[in-house]
Amino acid sequence: MAKDLRTHLRLLRDHFRGEICTIKNGPLSPAEGETSALLYHLERQNKWPCVIFEHVTDLRGERWPGAVVFSEATTWRKIAVSLDILEESPSPMTLLLEAGKRGQTPIAPKVIPRSDAPAAELEWQNEDADLTRLPAYRKEEGDARPGWVCGVAVARDPDTDRYNCSWHRHLVHGAKASAVRINYRHLWDYMQRCKNRGQEEMPLAFVFGHHPAFSLAAGSKAGLDVDEYSYAGGLLGEPLRLTPSLSFGNDLLVPADAELIVEGYVHLTKKKTCGPWSDFLRYYSPATEEPVFRPTAISMRRDPLFLHSWTGHHEVMFDCAGMIEVYMELVRRHPRLKAVNCIAPMTFVLQYSPEFPGEAQRLAAHAFGALGDKVKNLILVDEDINPFDPAAVWFSIATRVDASTEQVTLFRDLLANRQDASRARPLQVGGIFLDSTKPSGRGPMEISAPAREVLDRIRLEDYLTTDDLNALRRDV
C-alpha cells in the first residue's frame, strides 16, 4: 500500500494513541476560527495532538463531505512515525540525519492511470470547481475574511520539466479567484520565465493532504538538479505515485495519493489583496498584492481529509525542514558539525566546537551567505551543551560569552524574510552571531556534576515511595 496521510494517521492510532484525537461533535466553522479555538485550548495544556474534525462547514456554511485535519506532524514523535521510526522518545538529531540521508537518495516517481488514483475518485469541473466549497479557515481574530487555505503547489519547470513543490497560502476571494502568496524562490522563477515568453497564466496545482514526508519535502530545499517529486520519494522511502492532472493531462502530473487537489492557473500579471494573516512569526503580515489563482478542477477522495496548517504554533515539521537544509548545507564544508536546532523563527543553534582562530566566524559567514532568508540569528554551542534544551543554550550564552570580543558578531544587509516585521529596510535585515563555545586561553571550563558512582548507588526509589514521588509537584 502506498504511503499517504491515512497510513500515517493509522500508525499514530496503533502505536501512539496520545498523539491523535478525533472531534465528532459539530458543526464547527473553520472560517470562524472554531476549529482553531479547540487547538488553542489544547495548546494551553501543552498538548499537541493531531486533531481530526469530522463535522465542519465550507465557506458557504454547508457541511464539508469529509473531515479537516490539523497538526499531523507537530511533535518529534510524529516526525519519527513519518520516517517509519516507531520509538517512544526519538532523538531529533537522529531524525534529521535519517531525513538528510533519505534526501540524498532520491527515488523516481511512479505514474499510474487516473482510474487507479485515490485522489481522482471525485471530480469537480467547470462551475463546480468552486473555492467556496472548500472548508477554508481562519486562525486568529485579525485574519482576513472570508477564509484561507494553505497547501503544497506543484509546478513544472518550463525549460527542464523539473517539478517543484512548495508551500503557499491563499486568501479565497470567491468561487473562481484567490490571492496566493509566492515568495522569490523557485516557483516565482518559473512564473517569470513563462511571463517573458508572453504567457498570461501558468498551470499549476495545489495539494491539500498527503503523507507528512511529502509535506516535509515541500518545506525543504532540494538542489536545482533534483526533481522534487524524486526528492519526496527519497523521504518517503518509496516512489511517490503520480497521475495525469484532470486539466492538463501528462503536461502536469499530480500526486495520486493526495486527499484533494485543486488545479488551475496562476496569473502572471493580475494581483489581488492577500492579508492580513498571522504568519509563522505570530505577527499579522500586512495585506499585500499577490498573484491571482483561477481554479479549473478539483479532484479528491470520496471522503477527503482536508489538511490545514496551524501556522505559527509548534511547527515542528517546518522547523525540521529548515534544520535539514541548514545541516546538509553546512556539514559538507564543516564535517565536525554535530547537531542543528531551530530554537525560534530563523534562529538556529549549531553544536560545533571550533579548533582554530576565526573558524567560528567562517562557519557563520557560510550560513548567512548560503541559506538566504532562512537564517537570521546563529548560536554556536559546545558538545557538552544540548542544543535542543533552551535553558542549556541560555546557560552557555550567560557563562561563555564576552560581548566585548569577537564572540558577538553583527552581520548586516542580509536577505530578509518577507514576513519579518523587524526589518528597517525592504528585504534587508541584520543578523546576530553568538559564539557561546568555551573561549580558548581562559582556563578550563567544566560543568560541575556529582560523582557518577554516587548517583548510581543512591536511588530515589530506595528512599521515597512511589506515592511520595507522585505527590511532589512538577515544576513546569
Query: For the segment 288-332, what is each residue's pLDDT rounded down to a tens digit?
Result: 999 999 999 999 999 999 999 998 888 898 999 999 999 999 999
Q: What is the dihedral of CA 284, 286, 292, 293, to 10 degrees?
A: -10
pLDDT for residue 474 is more than 80: no
Cα separation, 178 vs 262, whole angstroms: 12
Burial class (CB in 10 A: 0-12, 13-18, 19+), 85: middle
H helices, E strands: number in the chain:
12, 21
Question: Averaged over 338-347, what is the pLDDT?
Answer: 95
Question: In 31-175, which ranges are E strands?
Answer: 50-53, 67-70, 110-111, 122-125, 148-156, 163-174
- Indicate the pLDDT class of residue 252, thresholds 50, 70 and 90: very high
What ranges in 183-277 are assigned the alpha helix state H? 186-196, 212-219, 228-236
Predicted pLDDT of residue 386:
96
CATH fold of 333-435: UbiD C-terminal domain-like (3.40.1670)
Choose among 113, 108, 109: nearest CA to 243: 113
Confidence band (pLDDT; 50, 70, 90) for 473?
A: low
In angstroms, rounded to a whole number, what is the distance separating the alpha carbons of residues 347 and 365? 15
Q: Report helix angle 92-103 to 316-331, nearest 10.
A: 70
Torsion of CA 19, 36, 45, 305, to 10 degrees: -10
Residue ranges in 200-277 assigned as alpha helix (H): 212-219, 228-236
Q: Tell the residue number behind the cell numbers 552557555, with chain if given.
A: 396
Q: What is the DSSP letter of 240?
A: P
Partner residues linked to 125 by β-bridges: 297
DSSP code, position 425: B
What element of type H or E holds 278?
strand 277-278
State the amino acid at position 294 in one-letter form.
Answer: R
User: Could you report the per-residue pLDDT of 177-221, keeping only the tens digit for each?
Assistant: 999 999 888 999 999 999 999 999 999 999 999 999 999 999 988
Residues in the chain: 476
CA distances from 288 to 275, 281, 282, 428 (A): 6, 17, 17, 18
CB 376 within 8 A of CB 414: yes
| Residue 49, phi then psi, degrees to nearest 5 | -75, 160
What's the average model confidence in pLDDT over 362-366?
A: 95
Say which DSSP state 149 is in. Answer: E
In a 3-state reduction of DSSP, which class is residue 167?
strand
CATH code of domain 5-307: 2.30.110.10
Yes or no: say if 174 and 131 are a contact pair by the CB < 8 Å rule: yes
Cis peptide, bond prior to residue 27, ω within 30 of zero: yes
**Segment 413-427, tens digit of pLDDT:** 898 888 888 888 888
Closest listed residue to residue 439, CA positions, set 348, 349, 353: 353
3-state SS class at 205: strand
Distance from C-alpha of 38 to C-alpha of 18, rounded to nearest angstrom: 16
Round the CA-based radius of gyration of the chain to a whole number and report it.
24
pLDDT at 475: 56
The total of other beta-carbon atoms located within 10 Å of residue 423's CB is: 16
Give pLDDT tens digits for 75-134.
Answer: 999 999 999 999 888 999 999 999 999 999 999 999 999 999 999 999 999 999 999 999
Using a pLDDT cut of 90, give the percent of the chain over it. 82
Facing residues of 165 across strands? 154
**Is the CB of residue 160 less than 8 Å from the CB of residue 207?**
no
Separation between Cα atoms, residue 13 and residue 110, nearest integer Å: 28
Here the cell at position 232 is 519526496
pTM higher than 0.85 for the full model? yes
Grid cell at residue 122: 471525485
H/E element, 325: helix 316-331
Q: Does the pLDDT at position 22 exceed 60?
A: yes
pLDDT band at residue 233 using 50, 70 and 90 as cut-offs:
very high
What pLDDT digit, counting tens, does each position of 370-419 carry?
998 899 999 999 999 999 999 999 999 999 999 999 999 999 989 888 88
pLDDT band at 476 (very low <50, low <70, confident <90, very high): very low
| Neighbouring C-beta atoms of residue 395, cutoff 10 Å | 16
C-alpha cell belonging to residue 73: 506532524
Give the mean model confidence (pLDDT) for residues 227-243: 97
Q: What is the mean pLDDT of the chain?
A: 94
Q: Is the peptide bond before 146 cis (omega within 30 degrees of 0)?
A: yes
Every domain of the chain and the residues it spans: 5-307, 333-435
